[in-house]
Amino acid sequence: AQSVTQPDIHITVSEGASLELRCNYSYGATPYLFWYVQSPGQGLQLLLKYFSGDTLVQGIKGFEAEFKRSQSSFNLRKPSVHWSDAAEYFCAVGAGTYKYIFGTGTRLKVLA
């Protein structure tokens, strides 16, 4: 079955520290992978996407993600977190041409 797992419901980091949010997917074919961010009361904003090619993709706001086929993972990273990064982050897989499956999200808290 197609699925996306974000094992961490909540993560707390100090401002300036590095960040890694985990995402594992289950999908039979080559996946299209996305990370979105949602601030309170807002919609989801696309951070980055992976379709093919270079397995390390750069996104907006200084985020990057690495696709590892052998581990079925697409983890999101940022070298130095800012207080404004506090939000909820969603990993998603494009399962087929028109279907998207979202993870349950990871809520990031940033300590000053």
Partner 1 sequence: KAGVTQTPRYLIKTRGQQVTLSCSPISGHRSVSWYQQTPGQGLQFLFEYFSETQRNKGNFPGRFSGRQFSNSRSEMNVSTLELGDSALYLCASRGTGGRSPLHFGNGTRLTVT
Residue 61 CB, nearest approach to partner 1 (Å): 16
CA atoms within 13 A on the CB side of 44: 14
C-alpha dihedral, 6 to 8 to 13 to 19, nearest 10°? -30
Q: Total binding residues for partner 1 by CB under 8 A?
A: 23
Q: Which residue in the set 18, 42, 71, 80 belongs to the binding site for partner 1 (CB under 8 A)? A: 42
Q: Which residue in the set 27, 36, 63, 74 belongs to the binding site for partner 1 (CB under 8 A)? A: 36
CA gap 89, 85 in Å, rounded: 10
Q: Which residues make up the interface to partner 1 (CB under 8 A)?
A: 32, 34, 36, 41-46, 49, 51, 90, 92, 94, 96-100, 102-105
